[in-house]
A = this chain, B = another copy of it.
Amino acid sequence: MYPLEFQDLKDSFKELPGVGDKSAERYVYAINELDKDKVEKMADSLIKFKNNIRTCSVCGCLSSQDLCSVCSSKTRDKSIICVVEDSKSAFAFESTGKYNGLYHVLGGLISPIDEINPEDINILSLISKRITDEVKEVILALNSSVEGDMTSLYIQKKLENKNVKVSRLAYGLPVNADIEYLDPLTIIRAIEDRKYLS
């Protein structure tokens, strides 16, 4: 009995992650209540996003230009490159407002079990193109999973004979975390990476 347009829109919403029948219906009813210009804006945003968003030709981050706003900025510190798994991570760093260096987005992690080899992700351009004399440090900012550690190690090895410092993010307690609820691995890492105060 649903009108065709209702069913079509519901099916489209179900393409979104975590959206099942019930949520999709709720969204369709919401669209029914929404002002026409807002719905048109949503449709327009979808098309513009899909037409204009690409990956930055230097760092691989999502961007509406050939060069992203970080790579094209004149005020960023070009001596530091932060290596991240995906654009999400880069945006998370940006949201802190405290990191002023550049990024390099791998677009994945090495994972032999999934047949993802170093050449399948954006590593080569980091090693061969981006480590210029200007670059002093590469920060490896990958998740501490098996794949993340493997990828970090691979990049670290590849950078050994380059004149560049390699660092990784600190492991330890998340701010505001309650120690009694932390997993043992995090506690071990926090002890290993402890800072001497005196």
**Which residues of A are at the interface with B, using a C-beta cutoff of 8 A?**
1-6, 8-9, 11-13, 15-18, 23, 25-32, 34, 36, 38-50, 52-53, 62-65, 68-70, 87-88, 90-91, 94
Q: Which of B26, B42, B69 sits near A15, CB closer than 8 Å?
A: B42
Selected from B31, B49, B62, the residue in CB contact (under 8 A) with A8 is: B49
Q: Top 7 closest A-B pairs, CB basis?
A: A1-B94, A12-B42, A43-B43, A3-B64, A9-B45, A43-B46, A5-B49
Q: How far is the CB of A191 from chain B (nearest CB, A)?
A: 32
18 A–B pairs (Cβ distance < 8 Å), ordered by A:
A1-B69, A1-B91, A3-B52, A3-B65, A5-B45, A5-B52, A6-B53, A6-B64, A9-B45, A9-B49, A12-B38, A16-B30, A16-B31, A17-B26, A29-B87, A31-B49, A39-B47, A42-B43
Tell me if A43 and B47 are in contact (CB < 8 A).
yes
Q: Binding site of A, secondary structure by majority: helix, strand, loop or mixed?
A: helix
Determine whether the beta carbon of A46 is less than 8 Å from that of B31: yes
